[in-house]
Amino acid sequence: MLKFNLLSRINFAGFIVAIIMIIGLFGPWLTVSYDSYSKINPVTKLGEAYYHSRVELTPLFGSVYKDEILVEQTWFVSIGINVAGFIMALSAFLSILKYKKNWAHFSIFVLYIVGIVFFFMSLGEGISIGVFTDVGWGLKVTGLGVLILFLFSIYELSRNSITRFID
């Protein structure tokens, strides 16, 4: 009978990376705010801009806020955005497992980057990132997870390598 030890198949560094990337996947990536009004900050005595309406977009869902209250949350925004979210979630879950090949984690990193590119290609023309939209904390956390996954994949590629000086 074949024994399957699950703990021997789990990569704990990949598990931490997957948790970071999944948290970033559920956080807001892009935020668009509408209907501005100004208020004076009592501490600095300067005017600040506030917004009545805000739309937050993640690779899995979109949320609409009115006066900081969640009004609507839509899970299937578009096919392209949801496919990108599925690709990123799949690659995050695949980074948990140990592989015999050293290049497997690097291919998971590339798959996650493909998901990010697919997300931004599915947005359309009128987004203008940095002009009308703000980058949310979810994209920053995802970027941190991707950086850690890249460093981990480089480490896995360089581990158990054959030296050039073979007798």
Neighbours of 43 (CB within 10 A): 6
Indicate the pLDDT class of residue 1, thresholds 50, 70 and 90: very low
DSSP state of 15: H
pLDDT digits (tens, 9 = 90+) for 61-79: 888 999 888 898 888 778 8
| Secondary-structure breakdown of the chain: helix, strand, coil percentages, each rounded to the nearest 5 | 45, 25, 30
Domains of the chain with CATH codes: 8-158 (1.20.140)
- pLDDT bin (cut points 50, 70, 90) of residue 55 is confident
Quick: pLDDT tens for 21-45. 899 989 998 888 887 788 888 888 8
Percent of the chain residues past pLDDT 70, beyond the cut: 84
User: Among candidates 39, 28, 19, which has minimal Cα distance to 95?
Assistant: 19
Q: How high does pLDDT run on average in the chain?
A: 81
What was the pLDDT predicted at 4?
60
Separation in Å, CA 153 to CA 24, 103, 144: 19, 7, 14
From residue 141, alpha-carbon distances to 32, 72, 148 in Å are 19, 24, 11
Question: What's the pTM?
Answer: 0.76
